[in-house]
A = this chain, B = another copy of it.
Amino acid sequence: MSNGGGVLSSTNHLLDFLEEPIPGVGTYDDFHTIDWVREKCKDRERHRKINAKKKESAWEFTKSLYDAWSGWLVVTLTGLASGALAGLIDISADWLNDIKEGVCLNAMWFNHEQCCWGSNETTFAERDKCPQWKSWAGLILGQEEGPGSYIMNYFMYIYWALSFALLAVLLVKVFAPYACGSGIPEIKTILSGFIIRGYLGKWTLLIKTVTLVLAVASGLSLGKEGPLVHVACCCGNIFSYLFPKYSKNEAKKREVLSAASAAGVSVAFGAPIGGVLFSLEEVSYYFPLKTLWRSFFAALVAAFVLRSINPFGNSRLVLFYVEYHTPWYLFELIPFILLGVFGGLWGSTRFGKYPVLEVIFVAAITAVVAFPNPYTRQNTSELIKELFTDCGPLESSQLCQYRSQMNGSKAFVDASPNKSAGPGVYTAMWQLCLALVFKIIMTIFTFGLKVPAGLFIPSMAIGAIAGRIVGIAVEQLAYYHHDWLVFREWCEVGTDCITPGLYAMVGAAACLGGVTRMTVSLVVIVFELTGGLEYIVPLMAAVMTSKWVGDAFGREGIYESHIRLNGYPFLDAKSEFTHTTLAREVMRPQRSDPPLAVLTQDDLTVEELQVIINETSYNGFPVIVSKESQRLVGFTLRRDITIAIENARRKQEGILLTSRVYFTQHAPTLPADSPRPLKLRSILDMSPFTVTDHTPMEIVVDIFRKLGLRQCLVTHNGRLLGIITKKDILRHMAQLTNQDPDNIMFN
């Protein structure tokens, strides 16, 4: 194929300095897909170099040790930073949230609870009323009670909520547009091998942290759990710059990001194992076992840092610890499955997408409507906690005001079977129904706003409210109709057989499952959140129902639909390719297209090459032996060719536009007067992936997914026919499902 040219053979040696890496070759443009195979090869090469050198000197040995440990170091740092930031966010948001209602006179920087800790005159029940804490009405009008102060407090509440929301949206708009939303869809896309520069940078981190606090404190119907994953990934990305092993290799960097996302969920829910499973099931694309182990470590470190900071003053590892006293009965599966259906419907809701100014309206409406209803005014996490909790003798919640308690026998409320709902429960039911409608509407509008916003906690709240309502309804049904067959069978008279808190837990899991379509990781997260290992069957039934219902209505989870709306090139590993098309139907060129742009291995000039590059917009070109044989030699990238030619014309003398370009080992035989040829073998990928034109697309899709390819060449009986890129596959898949293939925007 290539023959050492007699004239030039002496200069071949001189040209070998070109085998030195050309700066810039092997990097990626913004909004491009990485080549996993190449990245992994680069990393192994680096590893081999370090290994070969390490016996040379003590310094090299130390360097190799540092290199070997840098993986653990970077996940440790990420875990520490994620835990610390999560603690900071929790504390600040809590404080800022209380600012809406009043201020601590002793110390401005105390929140309501901390303010009243010092006060020893208050009883357990009234521990949040203490003289140090002044509501705004108390501070401004000098009186805590009465309609005037209620209106004053209401006004201040709206004022602060609006200020926080406006500040958040402006900060995002001006400084870091990437800081809005939950960030999980983008992180999924990045982990699948896409480049979005700045998405995980320090500015995004800073602004996201600050605005997350503001957004949460503004009382908007959003959660901080999703954005915490983004924050953790920013930490992982920033720390990876300390280690060349990770900063210079996009594939390795994604291992750190996988670990970081595990740490993010770990701090969001206090669920380290759930975090690892979330990273594995939901966000990660390439997840080697080494990453599993490091993710676990990062998740643990983060959880322990957060627990040491102890932002809520209770040293529980479990966020919503529940302890129910009654088992569940088989007939309860019906309401649980209904809750699953509700969760699935919630999961197939379409969320809005709104520009900046809408935030003021949404924040204003949220504040106006939320204030009067205790269940919407309350911090969402606390609401969920209250809804999960079973009514015990010590429970002072309105939800637990059953009739027997009214009759004065307060201490025996739990033992008493007379669980007829008191007026408190009826009030609570109305308020909960209103809160449910409010939360559903506001969450739909809030999620599209340009502020950091997660869906986990609002979804859980919606599910928990619905669940508690259903639970109380079933409980009252069982009380008033204990002669019905189902109840007679299971609920003996005089026993307390329905636990409304369990319904809330099941509903929360169902709604979360409907939105995210998580399964194992969700169940594990709920375990770790609640410590309730006993209720696995109700949880699984509801989560599975919600997933099926969601799939039946919406087909995809919130993250996938967000990815598709943004046109990111994401090849989902979960959805199976079930069509019977062959590679030749997907490859380009099709019959109507211009012929495939190819380079021949040794008879193009620099000028011809530049013409081909300028006239086409392809990201890479196959190199063939000759136009006649169409036998494939390799593949070369547009970016690399441009860089290499520029580099050669700058550094190598005698390279003209008429210089011959060759990709072979030896220069071709040239006429004596021709200018010095340009060797481009170093940028030639001599092991391009090929498939035959008869290969079923399901295999091609599998190869792309599992190996993380950018493109693949198509041959027929050894001749090059065409090329399939990731974008071609995504467009083909969109066409097959009757979607607009032009939605796929990036390569």
Tell me the A residues contacting B by CB distance below 8 Å: 1, 37, 40-41, 44, 47-48, 51, 273, 276, 281, 289, 292-293, 296-297, 300, 304, 317, 519-520, 523-524, 533, 536-537, 540, 573-574, 576, 578, 580, 583, 625, 629-634, 686-688, 690-692, 694-696, 698-699, 702-703, 706-707, 715, 717-720
> Would you call B41 and A696 a contact (CB within 8 A)?
yes
Docked Cα-Cα span, A317 to B531, in Å, equals 13
> Would you call B718 and A520 a contact (CB within 8 A)?
no
A276: chain B residues within 8 A (beta carbon): 520
CB of A267, distance to nearest CB on chain B (Å): 15
Docked Cα-Cα span, A51 to B580, in Å, equals 13
Most buried by B among A51, A317, A706: A706
- Report if A300-B540 is in contact (Cβ < 8 Å); known contacts: A698-B41, A715-B718, A717-B625: yes
Docked Cα-Cα span, A95 to B349, in Å, equals 57
Can you show 17 pairs from A to B with CB atoms below 8 A apart?
Answer: A37-B699, A40-B702, A41-B696, A41-B699, A48-B580, A281-B292, A292-B520, A296-B523, A300-B540, A631-B718, A687-B692, A687-B696, A688-B692, A702-B707, A706-B707, A707-B707, A718-B719
A632: chain B residues within 8 A (beta carbon): 717-718
- Report if A717-B631 is in contact (Cβ < 8 Å); known contacts: A300-B536, A686-B692, A687-B696: yes
A694: chain B residues within 8 A (beta carbon): 634, 686-687
> Would you call A37 and B702 a contact (CB within 8 A)?
yes
CB of A681, distance to nearest CB on chain B (Å): 11
A631: chain B residues within 8 A (beta carbon): 717-719
A699: chain B residues within 8 A (beta carbon): 37, 41, 687
Beta-carbon nearest neighbor of A47 in chain B: B578
CB of A95, distance to nearest CB on chain B (Å): 29
- Report if A573-B289 is in contact (Cβ < 8 Å); known contacts: A300-B540, A717-B631: yes
A293: chain B residues within 8 A (beta carbon): 519-520
CB within 8 A of A687: which of B51, B537, B695?
Answer: B695
Docked Cα-Cα span, A625 to B281, in Å, equals 45
Docked Cα-Cα span, A297 to B519, in Å, equals 11
> Would you call B297 and A540 a contact (CB within 8 A)?
yes
A578: chain B residues within 8 A (beta carbon): 44, 47-48, 51
CB within 8 A of A690: which of B580, B625, B690, B720?
Answer: B690
Question: What are the 5 tightest A-B residue pairs by CB atom distance, in nearest-first order?
Answer: A631-B718, A687-B695, A686-B694, A718-B718, A706-B706
CB of A68, distance to nearest CB on chain B (Å): 11
> Would you call B273 and A281 a contact (CB within 8 A)?
no
CB within 8 A of A703: which of B317, B629, B707?
Answer: B707
Beta-carbon nearest neighbor of A523 in chain B: B296
> Would you call B692 and A296 a contact (CB within 8 A)?
no
A524: chain B residues within 8 A (beta carbon): 273
Beta-carbon nearest neighbor of A696 in chain B: B41
CB of A603, distance to nearest CB on chain B (Å): 15
Docked Cα-Cα span, A374 to B230, in Å, equals 56
Docked Cα-Cα span, A691 to B634, in Å, equals 11
Known: A300-B536, A631-B718. 18 other contacts (CB 8 A): A37-B702, A40-B702, A47-B578, A48-B580, A273-B273, A273-B524, A281-B289, A289-B573, A300-B537, A304-B536, A317-B533, A629-B718, A630-B718, A633-B717, A686-B694, A687-B691, A687-B694, A715-B718
Docked Cα-Cα span, A656 to B261, in Å, equals 66
CB within 8 A of A296: which of B520, B574, B583, B698?
Answer: B520
Docked Cα-Cα span, A87 to B578, in Å, equals 41
Docked Cα-Cα span, A297 to B1, in Å, equals 58
A707: chain B residues within 8 A (beta carbon): 702-703, 706-707
CB of A467, distance to nearest CB on chain B (Å): 21
Most buried by B among A51, A317, A583, A687: A687
CB of A284, distance to nearest CB on chain B (Å): 11
Docked Cα-Cα span, A632 to B715, in Å, equals 10
Docked Cα-Cα span, A706 to B706, in Å, equals 6
A580: chain B residues within 8 A (beta carbon): 48
Docked Cα-Cα span, A300 to B696, in Å, equals 37
CB within 8 A of A44: which of B1, B47, B48, B576?
Answer: B576
CB of A165, distance to nearest CB on chain B (Å): 38
Beta-carbon nearest neighbor of A698 in chain B: B44
Docked Cα-Cα span, A703 to B690, in Å, equals 12
A273: chain B residues within 8 A (beta carbon): 273, 524
Beta-carbon nearest neighbor of A276 in chain B: B520
Beta-carbon nearest neighbor of A582 in chain B: B687
CB of A232, distance to nearest CB on chain B (Å): 19
Docked Cα-Cα span, A633 to B717, in Å, equals 5
> Would you call A574 and B687 a contact (CB within 8 A)?
no
CB of A722, distance to nearest CB on chain B (Å): 14
Beta-carbon nearest neighbor of A573 in chain B: B289
CB within 8 A of A289: which of B574, B695, B698, B702?
Answer: B574
CB of A288, distance to nearest CB on chain B (Å): 8
A40: chain B residues within 8 A (beta carbon): 698, 702
CB of A281, distance to nearest CB on chain B (Å): 6
CB of A407, distance to nearest CB on chain B (Å): 36
Beta-carbon nearest neighbor of A524 in chain B: B273
> Would you call A625 and B718 a contact (CB within 8 A)?
yes
Docked Cα-Cα span, A519 to B291, in Å, equals 11
Docked Cα-Cα span, A289 to B536, in Å, equals 19
Docked Cα-Cα span, A687 to B702, in Å, equals 13
CB of A298, distance to nearest CB on chain B (Å): 12
Docked Cα-Cα span, A519 to B574, in Å, equals 26
A304: chain B residues within 8 A (beta carbon): 536-537
Docked Cα-Cα span, A523 to B276, in Å, equals 13
Beta-carbon nearest neighbor of A601 in chain B: B717
A519: chain B residues within 8 A (beta carbon): 292-293, 296
Docked Cα-Cα span, A631 to B718, in Å, equals 5
Docked Cα-Cα span, A690 to B1, in Å, equals 20
CB of A110, distance to nearest CB on chain B (Å): 29
Docked Cα-Cα span, A523 to B629, in Å, equals 59
CB of A574, distance to nearest CB on chain B (Å): 6
A48: chain B residues within 8 A (beta carbon): 578, 580
Beta-carbon nearest neighbor of A576 in chain B: B44
Beta-carbon nearest neighbor of A296 in chain B: B520
CB of A654, distance to nearest CB on chain B (Å): 29
CB of A325, distance to nearest CB on chain B (Å): 16
